[in-house]
């Protein structure tokens, strides 16, 4: 008696639709992801003729000041008296901290003086002003 041998099926996965699936996933992630551009308020920076860039952004904390007087640190709106506590905690965590002030060109000088006073009280004395190039 002769036995018929059954052919073993080849367990391969069809890959003809693989490029379509890959492109749909890429398209989905491109559409659904959000790019974060800026943390602060909408400000119009003053111009300067000579600009010196910071060497590193690792030890930098940004304070945004709008012309209306609103102040933002790390994307959160804060009151001027609370700057002292926030910056003191940041200086304790990072003693090399540089505070970069991004103030609108039409900000009242009284607000800047109050912020400087709070920064001195919090021992954050390394201060930098952000500007845009005049050229």
What are the structural domains of the chain? 47-133 (3.30.420.270)
- Give yes or no for residue 89 having a pLDDT over 90: yes
Q: Residue 14 has which token pair?
A: 């069809």
Give, for 48, the enclosing helix (H) or strand (E): strand 47-48
Closest-CA residue to 102 (of 48, 15, 44, 56): 44
Indicate the pTM of the whole model: 0.64
* CA distances in angstroms from 87 to 37, 53, 82, 104, listed in the order given: 23, 22, 9, 21
Tens-place pLDDT, residues 18-50 = 888 899 999 998 888 877 665 667 676 777 777
Please name the residues in contact with 121: beta carbons below 8 A apart, sequence gap of 6 or more: 84, 88
pLDDT in tens, 50-81: 777 777 778 888 898 988 889 998 888 999 99
Q: What was the pLDDT predicted at 39?
A: 61
């Amino acid at each position: 008696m002769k036995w018929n041998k059954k052919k073993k099926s080849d367990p391969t996965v069809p890959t003809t639709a693989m490029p379509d699936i890959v492109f749909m996933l890429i398209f989905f992630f491109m559409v659904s992801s959000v790019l974060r551009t800026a943390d602060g308020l909408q400000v119009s920076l003053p111009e300067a003729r000579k600009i010196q860039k910071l060497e590193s952004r690792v030890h930098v904390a940004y304070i945004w000041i709008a012309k209306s007087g609103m102040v933002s640190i790390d994307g959160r709106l804060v009151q001027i008296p609370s700057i002292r506590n926030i910056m003191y905690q940041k200086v304790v965590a990072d003693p090399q901290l540089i505070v970069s002030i991004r103030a609108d060109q039409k900000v009242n000088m009284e607000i800047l003086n109050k912020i400087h006073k709070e920064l001195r009280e919090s021992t954050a004395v390394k201060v930098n002003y952000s500007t845009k190039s005049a050229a």
